[in-house]
Amino acid sequence: MTSRTPNHLLDQIVAVQRVTITTDASGSPVRTWSTHLAQLRAAVQFYESSYRLFVPVDADIAEADRVLWEGHTLVVSRVQKSNKAVGVQSILAKEVQP
């Protein structure tokens, strides 16, 4: 089956990080961010006080993941899956300090 993702519209490259939480010797949680998706095609738009990203519908992105894009660190607040016929999913994210 041919991909329906409109790659010509996804003109940016982003990286997606996912957190792993472990505990240190004293039992305190330790957050470690690692790259989950290294070079994901995306369209990025500033939307009200946050960002809206469009990525391929099959990209594995979850709420609380981080998106790195052109020096910005964005935390995913909502993932809206689209109909596969559209080929993209919509992501809402807020900028944070890394």
In this predicted structure, the answer to whether residue 94 has a pLDDT above a threshold of 90 is: yes
C-beta atoms surrounding 68 within 10 Å: 16
In this predicted structure, the answer to whether residue 86 has a pLDDT above a threshold of 60 is: yes
Q: What is the pLDDT of residue 89?
A: 92
More confident residue, 51 or 3: 51
Instruction: Please state the three-class secondary structure of the chain as a single string.
Output: CCCCCCCCCCCEEEEEEEEEEEECCCCCEEEEEEEEEEEEEEEEEEECCEEEEEEECCCCCCCCCEEEECCEEEEEEEEECCCCCCCEEEEEEEEECC
> CATH number of 12-96: 2.120.10.80, 2.40.10.270, 3.50.50.60, 3.40.50.300?
2.40.10.270
pLDDT tens, residue by residue, 35-82: 999 999 999 999 888 999 999 988 999 999 999 999 999 999 999 977
In this predicted structure, the answer to whether residue 33 has a pLDDT above a threshold of 70 is: yes
Ordered by start, the domain boundaries in the chain are 12-96
Q: What is the pLDDT of residue 62?
A: 96
**Mean of the pLDDT values across residues 5-17?**
87
